[in-house]
Structure 1
Amino acid sequence: MHTTAHAPRTERIRSLPKAEVHAHLEGCFQPAVLAQWATEAGVPMPRPREHLLAFEGLADFLHFLDWACGLASTRERLAELSYGFSQRLAESGAGYADVIVNPTHWKAWHGRLPEMIDAIDAGFASAEQDGLPPVGLCVSLLRTQSSDAAAELVDALIALGHPRVVALSIDGNEAAAGRTSPRFAEAFRRAGAAGLRRTVHAGESSGPEGVRDAIELLGADRIDHGVRAIEDPALVALLAERRIPLGICPTSNLKLGVYASIDDHPIDRLRRAGVVVSINTDDPVLLGASLEGEYALCSDAFGWSDEDLRTLARHSIDASFANADVKAKLLERLSRW
């Protein structure tokens, strides 16, 4: 009975024109595909296949990403993964996505960034030709990298000038890395000056101070997660006043232990405080999340109206790094929903 009551609602949410602004390509591996690639490569699995996605927390999860990405060693595999991401977007009713890729995880591609971006672009371009939604690429630093490595990545992205690349990103475990934003300030400044947008993971494994650093030191156009800003009322006011959007991923926060339950999750409190929030999946396959499922989860928990859903969808489109044309088309579709 439970599912039939929710089916029409899920369909309506699926039909809601929206964008996704916080998803990692590394989080889109299907277990069956990984098992097959591991067998072909003669590489042992970290756990039996049926428990492959049973993570013990963020650190375990990040180790797993390195293992999975290590298997995507060919151009075909990267293109296939990217194409699959676009299919997933279309199935959730999204009309655009910014996807994060962190080159440090992909050891087969170390030292071959242009080739790696080209392979990913091939998958997304092929998907667009087949009528699937456009995707922008946010290339990410890891919190534990050096300022020299950050400068090198920014230099490479600027020299490459690839139209698929829309932003510089930074992710990783801040609880383990400590305060690192000062180290990356110069790289982010140069990326911004070169016309790249800036998106920063903060306020997940770090508290509100990480979010403040992302704004003040890294010039963040958008914050990935940012949920722990709720612990600092002055910071919440600043986010609302400057209209700096948060790319929030509720299921991810629950599965990786940031919050114990959806009722404890601050997304609705942030929204009511005037912060621009969007709903996203983070690592959809690995965490068992779908975009329509995230909207439904929050909508049920917080009693959101259709008007609330429309506002959240508009925030997701506005917060995206899509070009003006793509945004205008999506917003026009949203006005008719």
Structure 2
Amino acid sequence: MTTLARLNALPKAEIHVHLEGTFAPETLAAWAAQAKVDLPRPVERLFEFAGLANFLQFLDFASGLANTPERLAQLAREFCERLARDGTGYADLIFNPTHWHAWHGQLPAMLDALDAGFREAEQDGLPPVGLCVSLLRTQTEGEAVELVELLTRLRHPRVVALSVDGNEAAAGRTGPRFASAFAQAKAAGLRRTVHAGESSGPEGVRDAVELLQADRIDHGGRAIEDAAVVDLLVQRQIPLGICPTSNVVLKVYPDLDAHPLERLRQAGIPVSLATDDPSLLGATLPGEYARAQQHYGWNDAVLRAVARTSIEASFANADVKADLLARLARW
């Protein structure tokens, strides 16, 4: 069995992946043609980005084309098919309502449309998915509280967590602004996952833990720049959902030599691997494991430990976790 096939067979979860980053270029081209909208670039170069800001602008464009319940259900179904191809047994899927212009003010309908696609996929034996509804960093404290209050009223069974994402460098420090909303989310039984340590430094990671009560951190790599923040993550065993391909493509780090993944792992922080925006960045989950294995010399014990972290740090229900962990023990 090839290395990639073995890693495809490795039981694992994905805990840092965005719905906005799963569009197929052919799907976007078809939808744009139907809407008589020009693509920002030719389809063969559609996913070429100048950097993080340009990438985030593209997310708004792509999401704006998904303007019917059928298209959202299609995206949900195609995401579950992607999980199955990658040998992924469960995913916490982040989506940010602010990107989906056609659905502004219609979050319940959007959740129902996605849920319909996920339910159909799961009935066909494809992997289950939980939704992490995300704030954008540029939103106000009031908007954040309003979202949490809506999620609390809905109690939608597909929603497992509150998230916050977006360009930390452009938005500035946002931990204090969103602390109230995250506290309310915790009180309502929602889990918390926070983008930090990507375009912000280690102070963003500290805020995520201390102000936003994060169960886990999306990215988190720049924690390595502050030994005290590394110690905080180790002491509290806060897992990181690290996306090496994303970080290199979007120029957070120049290459894997500069990436702190292995230093964070060896420091004792629970790390998992994820694709972030797989279609847009050309990433697969087995490919992330293969790159790390090759570059850092990971043996099977390390691969199994990283996969275990992905499962244990996920917001899957107890039965799904138990099944994946049992399969992992046999891998």
Q: 1:159 aligns with which of 153, 158, 177?
A: 153
Q: Could you tell me the percent identity over the aligned residues?
A: 68
2:53 aligned partner, one-letter code: A
For residue 257 of structure 2, give the secondary structure of its aligned residue in structure 1: helix
Letter of the structure 2 residue corresponding to residue 222 of structure 1: R
The alignment status of 1:70 with 2:42, answered yes or no, reads no
CA distances 1:269-319 after superposition (whole Å, capped 9, x unpaired): 100000000000000000000000000001100000011100000000011
Name the counterpart of 1:86.
Answer: 80
Q: Helix, strand or coil for the counterpart of 1:139?
A: strand
| 2:186 alignment counterpart | 192
1:277 aligns with 2:271: yes
Q: Note the 1:177-216 alignment, pairs <5 A.
A: 177-216=171-210
Counterpart AA for 1:159 = R
Determine if the alignment matches structure 1 residue 137 to structure 2 residue 137: no
Residue number in structure 1 paired with 2:321: 327
1:72 partner letter: A
1:24-63 alignment runs, 5 A limit: 24-63=18-57
Matched, 1:236 2:230: yes
TM-score computed with the length of structure 1 as normaliser: 0.98
**Partner in structure 2 of residue 3 of structure 1:** none
Describe the SS at the equivalent of 1:20.
Answer: strand
**Deviation string, structure 1 residues 173-205 (Cα, Å, up to 9, x no partner):** 000000011010000000000000000000000
CA distance in structure 2 between the partners assigned to 1:77 and 1:169 by the alignment: 23
Please state whether the residue corresponding to 2:238 is helix, strand or coil. Answer: coil
Deviation string 1:308-336 (CA, Å, 9 cap, x unpaired) is 10000000001100011110110000000
Query: 2:282 — aligned with what?
Result: 288
Deviations 1:15-71 (A, max 9, x none): 000000000000000111101100100111111111111100010000000000000
Looking at structure 1, the residues matched to 41 and 9 of structure 2 have their Cα atoms a distance apart, in angstroms, of 37
- The match for 1:298 is 292
| Structure 1: runs of 5 or more not aligned | 1-6
Q: Distance in 1 between matches of 2:137 and 2:175?
A: 8
The one-letter amino acid paired with 1:16 is L
Structure 1 partner of 2:5: 11
Deviation at 1:141, TM superposition (A): 0.2
Alpha-carbon distance between aligned partners in 2 of 1:304 and 1:97, rounded to the nearest angstrom: 23
Structure 1 stretches of 4+ with a deviation exceeding 6 A read: none
Does 2:221 match 1:227? Answer: yes
1:238 positional shift: 1.2
Ranges in structure 2 where 5+ consecutive residues have no aligned partner: none
C-alpha distance in 1 between matches for 2:7 and 2:44: 30
Give the total of aligned pairs: 331
Question: Quick one: distance in 1 between partners of 2:91 and 2:157?
Answer: 15
Output one character per residue of 1:134-193: Cα deviation in whole Å (capped at 9) or x when no partner. Answer: 100000000000111101110110000001000000000000000011010000000000
Residues 1:175 and 2:166 are matched in the alignment: no
- Aligned CA RMSD, in angstroms, stands at 0.6
Q: Tell me the distance in 1 between the aligned counterparts of 2:38 and 2:255.
A: 34
